Structure formats: structure tokens, C-alpha cells
Amino acid sequence: MPLAKASGDYPSAPSWRSSRFGFYLGVLLVTFGVLLQLPDVRVMIDHARLKADADLPSGAPGMESMDASEGMSMWTPTMLIGMLLLLVGFLVAAQSLFRGTRPSTGIAGIGVESIEHGRLRPIYWATAAVLTVALVVDVMKPLTLGFVLPGMGQEYDMPLEAVTILPLVALTGTAVGSVVWGLLGDRFGRRSALLLATLLFIATSACGAMPSFEWNLVMCFVMGSSAGGLLPLVFTLVAELTPRRHRGWVAVTVGSIGGLGGYLAASEAAHLLEPSLTWRALWLIGLPTGLLLLVLAPLVPESPLFLLRAGRHDEAKAILERYGSHLDGSTTSLAAGGVARPGMGTLLRTYPAVTAVIGVVGLFWGLVNFGFLVMLPAQLHEAGMAGGAASGVLAKSALYSAPALVLVVFLYAGWSGRRALALFVGATGVALSAMAIWAEGAGGQPLLVAAIALLVLSLSAVNAMLLPYSAEIYPTAMRATGSGFAGAATKFGGILGPSAMLLILALHDGLAVPAVALTVLCGVSLLLLLRFGPEVHTSFGRRPRRSDKKPAQPEEPTTTTPVRQ
């Protein structure tokens, strides 16, 4: 099938060759800005390590007038110059990647389900591996927060209750970043947005040099916004580079490995670095991990569907041929008319029912994962279960995710994406109901252990499926925005979760009431998903049956419908 030209005005975005000099200059400035602050980080690490002994070296630069009980509150010249280089480097890179582009006013009749090919070539597996690494980095950074809180509180002489505002600020940043970077990915290109989000991630390594808790909050918000941006962009690229026959199982596998790898990377980094180099070293690892992603970036192409939508047909054709793909001439999912400018408002107006489903399911997952599950150890301790079998199950939650990977991939790719997601949402409700029964004194320890195991497994499964599902159901023009909305919904649930749990527990002791409340929300999420959730292609040869739920038609005839598989 010849590549159809897009209708309307499609200004061509600058090619990578014309923009890479400015981008590389920005990377150099940002990297040097972080390295310039390492001597100050060393001073702060020495200060923190010696603080416990109340014996600071008299010749430490910038610390002559401080005693061991004082905090680090000054800005040195190297820190100021380094922060300036971070800002200038980021702006130079952004201008180089995004100059000369603006939203398209038309769109070709090509959708994500139009990509076909016979088998996955080695270059595809290399790309999938790089995207998995990006997802590991995305998951690792928020999980690192739990490891830095004790040391940060000790260094700044703050109680742990006061320091816990840091995860709240970081999760707020990830929610904002998921939306913003999704919008940028739809407007300027998935790869360009991914590169810039990675550069911002490198810049936030300077969080390890911040001299006060307040500046750590600022940098932690920026760090969260950069990490939150990787999530929707990774799954959008997976959806738009993978043919329909393999898309389901590849996306869920990347999600599962990325989640598990992020947990293991965060815990291992804390185990190796924190005892000797304090919590500040856990922020500095953003520099080598971010640079590693940029070194591997040549293995990640721009989405061919985005290039087609932008009128860059030759580039799209070259990428499709490189990956052994072609376009299915019998399939066009996007209307030939004009399309509204990509944005969150357009997403909500055009696909209100589908977007509401994604939002409610993501909110439910965030409330349970960051609220109920995170506070579960403390509640079990109050119930006299400290050191019991339930704590062991929680401590080994990552190991429960590993065997579930095969089951999740098979059900999503071989049975039904929508029904598989609904199955594990429902399983979360079953686990919460069992927790409520146990909290009322029935079932004993066997019920508790089984409920926690099911809760960990089902939450891991929903986390692995929700973003790939979101990336498939929206059209090309708004796919990154839709994926970003899903990521933001989970983070917003994480922001509300701890506060909601504390409020409920203040009104009623025990786990029964929050478990029942979340079970009710689970029922609402499940009904909405089954009623309004569109089906996606299976990967093992079965096409959806006529009974599979189709997405609702949009209200505006000039826009596109969510992808129907």
C-alpha cells in the first residue's frame, strides 16, 4: 500500500540530524552542571556521616562556622553555576528538538492496528529492551523515596512525619508529568519528548546537592515530572512499533518486567549505596542511568504513525522497512477529515466514557496500592501481627509478581485485553473483601495470608496491563495524551491514598471500613470497564467476537474514534 499523504497543513518537524547538535550541546551543559556540584555533594555527605559523632573537620570548605548539629543551608558558587547550566542546557535541548513544529490540522487514515509484519526482527528486540530500561528507570525513582526518608529526616533534624511530605510532592510531580509529557509526545513526537524527559531526569540528579529540605521538595517535584513522562511515552512507542499480532503480549511483558525491575533496582541501589554514601547517592544515580538511556537512544526510532500524521512519509517508510513492517491496505481506523488539536480537553470531550473508565480504574489502583497496601504493615502491627506471615508476604511482593507475569501475558494477549484487566480489577476487590472479613475476626491467619497474596498479585497485574491497554484504545493523534492521563490517574490515587486512609482510620479503627469502601469503588470500576471499555486485539490469532464491547462513537464527527480492534 502506498503511504497516503496527510490532508491539511502538515509542517514538517526538524529531522534528527538538523537538531542533534543543539540537543547534544544541551546534554553536555546539563551533565557538566551536575558534575560541577559533586564536590558540594561530597561535603554534605561527609557532614552527614560525621554528624552522628558531633565532630566535623575544621578545614571542610564552606563549613568552618558550622557545628555538627547545624543543617546545610548555604549555596556555594559551584552550586549556583551548576544550576544555571542545568537550566540553560535543558532550554537549548528543548529548542533544538521542538523548533519548527506545531500541531497537525489533518490526519491520514492510518491507525495503530494498521501495522502488520511476519516476525519480530532483532532490531525490534533491541528497541523493546531499551524501552524496558526506560520503564525500569521510571519505576525505580519514585520507589527510591521510601529509602531516602529516614536518612533525610536525620540529616535535617526533622521527624519522619514531617519528611513524609516528600513522597506526596514527588507523586504530584509524576501525575503532572504524565499529562504534560503525553501532550508533548502527541504534538512534537514520541521520541523527541522521550529524549527531553530523559535529559530532565538527568538534571534532577542535582537533587543530591540541595542544601535544604525545601529545595529538595522543589527538585523532587521536577524529578517526579520527568520520571512520570517516561511512562506514557514508552507504552505509546510500544503500541506504535509493534504489529497487532504481537502487541498485547509485548506491551504487558514490558510493563511487568519494568515494574519488577524498578523495584529490584531501587532496593539494590539503597542496599549498596545508602549505608556508606547516605541518601544523597540515591539521587545521583539518575546521572549514569539517564546517560545510559541517551546512549541507547539511537535504537529507539520515532513512531512511524506520528511521522505519517506529520507528513514525513519517507522517514516513516524507512522505519517500517527497517523493522520488517508494512501497512495493512485494508485497514484504516482514522477518519479522513480534520482532527482537533491534541489536548486533554479534546480527549475528555471526544471520548468521555472511555476516558472516565481509564480514570476511575487508575484512581482505584492508586488508592489501593499507595494507600491501603502501603499502610497495611502498620495496621497489622497494631493488630498484633508484627513479624508474622503477612509481613513476609509483603516483603516478598516482587517475587509474587514474577510468576504472575506468565499468567497476565497469556490472559491479556490470548484471551481478551479488556476482560483480563477486568478480571484482575475484580480479583483486587475479592482480596479487599477477604481483608474486611479477617478484620472482623473471621478466617484467621490462613485467610489473611491468602488475601495479601491475592492483593499483591492482582495489583501487579493491573499495573502491568492498564498503560498498554490505554495506549491501544486511543487513536494516533491522542495516544500519548491518553496514556499520560492513565498514568496521572494512578498517581492521583497515590496522592489521595495515604490521606484518605488516615481519615478513615481516624473515624473507625481497623481495616474493615477502608477495605469495604475500596471494594465498593472496585465494583464501580469493574462495571464501568465491562460496560464502556473497548476491546483490543488479541495476539494469539483470535479476533474479537461480535459480542466484544466496542467503544462509544465520538460526539464530534470530525474527530476519530478510539481504535477498534
Structure confidence at residue 342 as a pLDDT band (50, 70, 90): low
Task: Kindly write down the DSSP assignment for every residue of 502-536, as one continuous string.
Answer: HHHHHHS-SSHHHHHHHHHHHHHHHHHHHHHPPP-
pLDDT for 116: 61
Burial of 543 (0-12, 13-18, 19+ CB in 10 A): exposed
Q: What is the DSSP letter of 327?
A: E
Structure confidence at residue 239 as a pLDDT band (50, 70, 90): confident
pTM above 0.85, yes or no: no
Taking 50 as the threshold, does the pLDDT of residue 403 lie above it? Answer: yes
In tens, the pLDDT along 404-415 reads: 677 888 888 778
pLDDT for 295: 92
Who's near 228: CB < 8 A, 6+ residues apart? Answer: 138, 173, 174, 175, 176, 177, 178, 181, 487, 488, 491
Taking residues 381-387, report their average pLDDT.
56
Taking residues 16-39, report their average pLDDT.
84
* Amino acid identity, position 30: V
Query: Which of 378, 342, 324 lies closest to 107, judged by CA?
Result: 342
Burial of 71 (0-12, 13-18, 19+ CB in 10 A): middle
Count CA within 13 A, CB hemisphere, residue 505: 16
Cα gap 179→485, rounded to integer Å: 6
Cα gap 246→233, rounded to integer Å: 19
Nearest-5° Cα angle at 270, 372 to 383: 30
pLDDT for 70: 46
Taking 80 as the threshold, does the pLDDT of residue 430 lie above it? Answer: yes
Across the strands, what pairs with 338? 106
Cα gap 461→142, rounded to integer Å: 19
Three-state DSSP class for 500? helix
Count CA within 13 A, CB hemisphere, residue 73: 8
Report the sign of the C-alpha dihedral through residues 220, 222, 225, 227, in that order. Answer: negative
Structure confidence at residue 249 as a pLDDT band (50, 70, 90): confident
Burial of 529 (0-12, 13-18, 19+ CB in 10 A): buried
Q: Which domains does the chain have, with CATH numbers?
A: 16-103+116-332 (1.20.1250.20), 345-532 (1.20.1250.20)
* HEC sequence for 351-414: CHHHHHHHHHHHHHHHHHHHHHHHHHHHHHHHCCCCCCHHHHHHHCHHHHHHHHHHHHHHHHHH
Structure confidence at residue 557 as a pLDDT band (50, 70, 90): very low
Bigger pLDDT: 161 vs 6:
161
Query: Which of 542, 366, 555, 549 lies closest to 473, judged by CA?
Result: 549
Cα gap 231→66, rounded to integer Å: 43
* HEC sequence for 404-443: HHHHHHHHHHHCCHHHHHHHHHHHHHHHHHHHHHHHCCCC
In tens, the pLDDT along 475-522 reads: 777 777 888 888 888 888 888 877 787 788 777 777 888 889 999 999
Q: How far is CA 60 from CA 44, 198, 279, in A?
A: 10, 34, 20
Taking 50 as the threshold, does the pLDDT of residue 260 lie above it? Answer: yes
Structure confidence at residue 246 as a pLDDT band (50, 70, 90): confident
pLDDT for 213: 83
pLDDT for 386: 47
Taking residues 543-553, report their average pLDDT.
43
pLDDT for 441: 76
| Distance of alpha carbon 6 from the chain centroid | 31
Cα gap 360→525, rounded to integer Å: 6
